[in-house]
Structure 1
Amino acid sequence: MHNATNNPQERADGVMNEVEAFNGAARGRIGARRATNAIDRIGAFSGTLYVLLALLGSALIGERSNRAESPGEQILEEQQRYAENPWTNVAFAVVILAQLALILFVGYLCARVREAGWFATTALVGGTAALIANFLSVSIVIAVFVLRDNISTELARALQDLDGAGHLIQLLPLGVFAVFTSVAALVTRTLGPVLSWAGIAIGAMSIVVLAASGLPANDEFFVWPFLLILLWMTVISLRFGFARNRTATPDGVAQTDP
């Protein structure tokens, strides 16, 4: 003999209790703060490491000179100066390590907000596209440096312009990464509303600036949106890296509303 009740009201109450328990557990999983271990902190701090290594690589290369008559000659002159610079090999190594740090940060951040569904997936796609653009840019720079004695000034300028266009287009995937990571963090309560809305605003502004400006001759116009994204990445990297561990809500325990 089974214990099932024939009372429709009791069956309905039982179903409602199960639904409320499921919803409470889901809210607990989304709203709970996860404990941060040493491996997580490595992933978190990789965002700050990326920014520092990228800036260090640029500093080791040095500033451009304007002594050449044509842009192509100036580019080849710069490549020769790089070859005479004892820090050039170190600078290239630092740039490669910066890309590795960015890979770790994109993976870590998207894993933190994976409960947000397609928001997190879109953030991962944006971060991956930014990585591809970075790798293409680094490949072009290395190719021009290696072939500096065997290419014409016209080809050198064409490759340099291709690298510059890649930097401009990079604002789109970086903007998508910032917007959808911030939306996912807002949905999952991974970040506070201030950092989340700041990321949404910075990412959306980067996309709008790129779309509204087209392809201007002076790429310096795009420096400040890129720097804002780097600043946002640094802030949230430090936020996650220095986060205190708190007692996380167990997945099976439903949270009750006050």
Structure 2
Amino acid sequence: MPNTYFQFKQFRVEQDRCAMKVCTDSCVFGAYVEVREAQQVLDVGTGTGLLALMVAQRSEASIDAVEINPEAQLQAQENFSASPWSARLQLFPQSLQEFAKQEHSKYDVILSNPPFFLSSLKSPDAAKNMAKHTGELLFEDILYFAQQHLTEQGKLHLLLPPAEAVYFAKLAKASDLYLQEVLQVYTYHGGKCIRHIQTYTFKPVPVPVVKEFYIREEDKVTYTSAFTELLRPYYLAF
């Protein structure tokens, strides 16, 4: 049975009411995206609030978080309120579509670990379906919001499986958002790529920068030095 919470160095994520628990690839995403100069950040589909909290720890930004699931809303608000950065974290308990209808300032960074699995069989767990499958939150909704609410130099960051990432990149180009960088995340040296961390801007580039990131060594047990250094500010073990 998963823990009811995940303890980081500077904050705790309670997760007993959320379908999607804290996972390694989300932690890599939250630690990797560039936010040091950002003043306004939006986390789309915040779930437990993990990404918003990780961003708050290493920036001075004001962070808005959108979440549609009622149980996750309560959990995220609980985690925000208990954190050292509660004054900079604001939860909007609604869909991105409803959030988009309101007046908002521009965001320097929009990040999302959105529903994916476009063609996978759905789980009988309704909450997990909403968290992992496109349906309540469409890729097109994210792109439309980014078009309207990213600053001119702003960045959109996505965490997606490889196949869905390729599909999203095609949709983004048609919406005048261009892939700048891809971090390909592998379970271990010699293993398979499990996720792409993508960065989009309004500026076209001839060829996106592609990097590789390995969580564990070939023995499938030892964490790589790159993973250890990236997560050192967050993980108690490092």
Same fold per superposition (TM over 0.5): no
Bigger strand share: 2
TM-score by length of 2: 0.24
| Larger-Rg structure | 1
Bigger helix share: 1
